[in-house]
Amino acid sequence: MASGAVRTNSRRVVGLVAALLSLSLAGCVIRRSYIGPEIRIQPKEVLVVGVTTKQDVLHLCGPPDELQGQYDGDLFVYEYSRENFALFTIREPLVLRLNLFTYSRLQDKRDRLVILFDPDGVVKSYALKRDTPNLKTF
């Protein structure tokens, strides 16, 4: 008789869980953020150390996102940022109002171009790091 009571109780628990899951709400949020203009130039093709001037860079790239004055020249920084965010939630909205399951994922990638000028405003050096192509889609 005791084993029959255990089976009945386990069926009730399974039934209760199934009822809660059937009454649960699922929500999904996907957000993509893009900050700044894409860095479209290939520095090796358009920037010539010792020749290209600030005016040339401003004409090619527009105003920098960041400008730093250095003791031996200025520094322009251009940055492009992409962010993908996903959130999936299952919640029971009626009785307990509990989150039963939550999954989130955030990816943040940036491209950054840094150009150093000499005191006369001519390109002294530059560096480009492209990371946004490594951004995976959901």
Q: Please compute the mean of the pLDDT values over residues 25-49 and round it to a whole number.
A: 89
29 band by pLDDT with thresholds 50, 70 and 90: confident
Cα angle, residue 66 at apex, residues 57 and 46 outer, rounded to 5°: 20
More confident residue, 1 or 132: 132
Residue 24: the pLDDT is 63
Range of the domain at 82: 2-134
More confident residue, 90 or 38: 38
Kindly report the number of other CB atoms within 10 A of residue 78's CB atom. Answer: 22
Question: Closest by alpha carbon to 106, among 26, 30, 27, 28?
Answer: 30
Residue 22: the pLDDT is 60
Domains: count for the chain: 1
User: Does 113 score more than 90 pLDDT?
Assistant: yes
Percent of the chain with pLDDT over 70: 86
Cβ–Cβ < 8 Å for 134, 107 = no
Q: Please compute the mean of the pLDDT values over residues 106-110 and round it to a whole number.
A: 93
Quote the pTM value: 0.69
